[in-house]
Amino acid sequence: MNDVERAKIVLQILNKTYPNISVPLNSRNVFTLLISVLLSAQCTDVNVNNVTKNIYPKYFKPEHFQKLGRKKIEKLIKKIGIFRIKAKSIYNLSKILINKHKSKVPKSFEELEKLPGVGHKTASVVMSQGFGYPAFPVDTHIHRLAQRWGLTNGKSVIQTEIDLKRLFPKKSWNKLHLQIIYYGRDFCKARDCYGITCKICTSCYPKRKKPVKTKKA
């Protein structure tokens, strides 16, 4: 079985398992989506949602966060990992959006990735979930699962993104990256499946007996 055949199996199982999918991070607009994705680095979506539910009813524009200042932003997000660094990024990107983009989140990878704290993965999520642009955000979890399922060689998240875009139809990307995340959480956990128990792993590699080792991003 080659990677194209495995990709078809993966897509079939994921579409059957998750015919409808919701965005895991809560947001009020594209700007708050950007903030939530930035906050989710090294942090669970559940934790981010628990923190932002008390923020977004009152603060949901770049002007709000600029007026708050770094120290007050820190207090609002202190339950989230590396909150001081994230608070600095939120404050600075808010100022940039006000001064350079008329308080609007830019609709291009190039401009998004120029913002403080915004890497390619964060930009991809915003382009996909915020603007509906075909994108395939790859985090460490998707990187690990793509290796387990034989869809990439695991050299880097960049290579994994290229491989997944090659294997799956463009129209499926926005939904598919979320389906993979949910499936990983529910069925193909790092310290549970080990590449030998879930339906996707057993379907793609029916003869696999030993736990598969994946390369870190």
Active site residues: 121, 139
Give the amino acid at 98. Answer: I
Query: Long-range contacts of range 11-18, CB-CB < 8 Å, 24 or more positions apart?
Result: 11/168, 11/172, 11/176, 13/183, 13/199, 13/200, 13/203, 14/176, 14/179, 14/180, 14/183, 14/200, 15/179, 17/179, 17/183, 17/187, 18/178, 18/179, 18/182, 18/183
Rounded Cα gap, residues 147 and 72, in angstroms: 41
> Of 37, 217, 42, 38, nearest to 117 (Cα)?
38
The dihedral over CA atoms of 193, 195, 198, 199, expressed in degrees to the nearest 10, equals: 180
> Of 35, 58, 66, nearest to 129 (Cα)?
35
Rounded Cα gap, residues 175 and 22, in angstroms: 9
- Percent of the chain as helix, strand, coil, to the nearest 5: 55, 0, 45
